[in-house]
Chain A
Amino acid sequence: MSSRVVAKILPVIKDLTVFKEVLESKNFVTQETSKSIFLSREGISFTILDNGTIRARFNNQNRRANGIIDDIVKEYQLLYQKKLAELRRKLDTVKRAEALQKLNAQNHQEQEEQQLERELRKMEKTRKIEQKLLQDKITQIEQKIIERAEANGFTVKKTVGVQKQVIRLVRRK
């Protein structure tokens, strides 16, 4: 009884875990050594070398061998794409959540900061307005006091300091 071994180099499969998962789901028996993983079932075997090379061997008498190998490769690719998509989606979700969290935290901080700045500006503005109104009132009162003093025979001497203004009224007897 002769046998013919056909080797088919599979597409480069970098994720051996996924490939193994596909094969094991199809009842391939795993034999693992330090240098290779051997999976076999009914005359079909896959050898995954530690350098990533994957070789498929099957018994030529197994008519379904090519179809099985194609299915396995396709399934691997689909599963890989699915896992990749899931991972990307998960990553995006996590990133979005993190970004959103950061944004929320930043926004909250900015909002708080802006509110404090607004309140501060408002209070400073109010204070300046109050000071200005007081200054205006003081000026008017000074002027009226001086007018009244002069009308009552006082001579007026005014001294302006930094925070204090002095009006000296003198009337000779």
Chain B
Amino acid sequence: MDEEIIIEINSETGQLNINTEGIKGELCVDEVNKLIDGLAMATEWNLTDEYYQEAQARNTKKEQQKLGGKSS
């Protein structure tokens, strides 16, 4: 699946609505930040359940790695 970012700009209010598709996990946040960093301020993030699930999985993995490292 292609990665897609759709940016809608309201020329009256200057509001940007950004939708991402096909970019999983933290990458979507990174990709959006790369585009708007220093140009627009993100006021609201509505991330998909998939992002949180993946984030949780990543955190669990990291914690396991830390625990494993300590034990070794």
Mark B residues whose CB is within 8 Å of A.
1-12, 14, 22, 31, 34-36, 39-40
The answer to whether A145 touches B36, judged by C-beta atoms less than 8 angstroms apart, is yes
The answer to whether B10 touches A169, judged by C-beta atoms less than 8 angstroms apart, is no
Shortest CB–CB separation between residue A105 and chain B, in angstroms? 42
- Interface residue? A165 (CB, 8 A): yes
The answer to whether A169 touches B39, judged by C-beta atoms less than 8 angstroms apart, is no
Shortest CB–CB separation between residue B40 and chain A, in angstroms? 6
B22: chain A residues within 8 A (beta carbon):
173
The answer to whether A163 touches B10, judged by C-beta atoms less than 8 angstroms apart, is yes
Q: A138-B14, A173-B1 are in contact. Are A165 and B34 (CB under 8 A)?
A: no
Interface centre among B9, B31, B34 (most CB of A within 10 A): B9
A148: chain B residues within 8 A (beta carbon):
34-35
23 contacts between A and B (CB under 8 A): A134-B11, A135-B11, A137-B14, A138-B9, A138-B14, A145-B35, A148-B35, A152-B35, A154-B3, A163-B12, A164-B8, A164-B9, A164-B10, A165-B8, A166-B7, A166-B8, A166-B9, A167-B7, A168-B6, A169-B5, A169-B35, A171-B3, A172-B3
B39: chain A residues within 8 A (beta carbon):
141, 144-145
Shortest CB–CB separation between residue A95 and chain B, in angstroms? 56
Q: Which of B2, B3, B11, B34 contacts A138 (CB 8 A)?
A: B11
